[in-house]
A = this chain, B = another copy of it.
């Protein structure tokens, strides 16, 4: 007997996984949470029927959402993670030893519990004394008085724009992110697949561009997010997100991010350039080359 789980990004297309075991299945206050053991990719965290991470390829997403903004900033000390209850982004942020404070704001504490229990290698950083966990709607948290101008880097590590996450892709939210960033801060945000959701990406870029002076898009590939190519939106008050600062890199080896991959991720095919029209209007300030490949 075989069990299969199928994720359908559209009603007419899906990715299907053979499942060895369902380790947890709960309707939380916010979403349908499942942890399953897949045969092919190890354990998977699934929210509302959409795979959020698998042990096989979570390194790609987490390295790219974290090290791009963290290395484009010369000295980030305070970092906010919106969503990201699995802890993968926190783990990567902690590879930047100068970081003094990480605040993780997730609306659903049960995601964090599940990550602690079933994904120890992903959630390993959550007990670090520099990490503060807040269970709250991030759109509210960001308007608190004490967070104004507080963060050097903000990561919007959100699920797809359905359910409670819809608010995290709108102009009001980017205004709140802008407000919570220091005068030279920048953010990166999960932004879906250019092949499958081009109109959505264009509108996110436009919303962010109404708030931030520098807005760019960068891309990466992973296995289990359907569509092949996925994107992050990044907005910055001062630094060019496409340019890693000289000498900035996380401690220890990386499997996806390098300074060269960082720069190359901002080189967009024309069908993606169309979704990020401001990327070309901005003068490039990045003197890096891709000679060494």
Contact = CB atoms under 8 A, between A and B. Distances in A.
Secondary structure class of chain A's binding surface, majority of residues: loop
A38 to B, nearest CB: 7
A57 to B, nearest CB: 6
Interface residues of A, number: 59
Contacts of A254: 270
Interface stretch (A87-95, A150-158, A216-224): A216-224
A286 interface: yes
Contact of A267 (B228, B270, B293): B293
A287 interface: yes
A256 interface: yes
A28 B10 CA distance: 33
A291 B280 CA distance: 10
Interface centre among A193, A196, A257, A261 (most CB of B within 10 A): A261
Report the 5 A-B pairs with minimum CB-CB distance, sorted nearest first. Answer: A221-B229, A12-B39, A264-B264, A264-B267, A12-B18
Given A13-B40, A225-B228, 12 more contacts: A12-B39, A13-B16, A13-B38, A216-B293, A221-B221, A261-B267, A263-B264, A266-B290, A267-B293, A279-B293, A284-B291, A284-B292
Interface of A: 6, 10-18, 38-41, 56-57, 59-60, 193, 195-196, 216, 219, 221-223, 225-229, 242, 253-258, 260-261, 263-264, 266-271, 279-280, 284, 286-293
